[in-house]
Structure 1
Amino acid sequence: MRGIQITQFGKPEDVVRVVDLQEPNAPGAGEVKVAVEFSPLNLHDLKVVRGELGRPPTLQTTACTPATRATGFHRGM
């Protein structure tokens, strides 16, 4: 599985990296696992990476945007 990793703020072309990640655990009760085929970075994401939206949040909060649009398919429950 691949994902985006940001370890510091700055120009996206300098600080955004595509990395290999460990597959998540099997879903628990009431959860589903979705295979995401793509999830683009949008203008808001790029402004956060550059630190342009007021006080920059911690990097842990920028690593996963809770309202991300993605395309994928259901892999079972």
Structure 2
Amino acid sequence: MKKSLILLLVVFMCGLASCATRVRTKAPTKVVVVQKRPANYKVVKIKGKRYYFWNGKHYTKTRRGYVVVKV
């Protein structure tokens, strides 16, 4: 009786243990916001989304300005 009670207690305690693991994320990267686009920009549509292209980089429009994106 005593052994079964201890076994039941051990099983119960293991059932309370969390299976969650710690997830680490990468440090946030620096985001450069361009307030005004230059006069020589081009509008490019890729997969139905609108991007602005200048200086060899693609930008998307946000509330704060234009941000570099990888397409």
Q: TM-score, normalised by structure 2?
A: 0.23
Greater fraction strand: 2
Larger RCO, structure (CA 8 Å, separation 6 or more) = 1
Larger radius of gyration: 2
